[in-house]
Amino acid sequence: MKPLSPFHLAIPVDNLAACRTFYRDILELEEGRSSDHWVDFNFFGHQLVIHYKEKQSLENPIENSVDGKEVPVPHFGVVLDMETFREFSEKLKKKNIKFIIEPYIRFEGKTGEQATMFFKDPSGNALEFKAFKDRSQLFAK
């Protein structure tokens, strides 16, 4: 299997300063290039770009029921190793992140068992971070 290539993801934010602080100081991501209307971040080896865009209506958010929890759609994040997930989730708890779904083990004892957590950035973009008990089951059925 080839090594994974970094992805590039650009997302809209309605408050560039608040989101810049969130990604840099709360999530502790390294900041890269920027302008007065966008900022690049090193998102666990991937390129995340926040772009200023005026507030959009999120009156009817979409949710999908997964393992008895209402998962926000769309969302994005990174698959971490279990140790990094635990350390990262503990840091976020200490920083009083308001979780949509608190860190927990999903599909416990089943194929694809994973730790997961969901929260939003200051502009309402939903993020999911997860870690598989057995990473080889990332795409298992």
Question: Tens of pLDDT along 15-73?
Answer: 999 999 999 999 999 999 999 999 999 999 999 999 998 776 556 667 888 888 888 88
Domain 8-53+67-137 has CATH 3.10.180.10: yes
Q: Bridge partners of 31?
A: 41
Separation of alpha carbons 21 and 120, rounded Å: 14
Helix (H) or strand (E) holding 82: helix 82-94
Q: Determine the pLDDT at residue 10.
A: 93
Separation of alpha carbons 100 and 69, rounded Å: 10
Domain boundaries, the chain: 8-53+67-137
Point out the least confidently predicted range of 11-15, 54-58, 87-91, 107-111: 54-58
Task: Give every CB contact of residue 90 below 8 A, 6+ residues apart in sequence.
Answer: none
**Model confidence, pTM:** 0.88
Q: Determine the pLDDT at residue 59.
A: 60
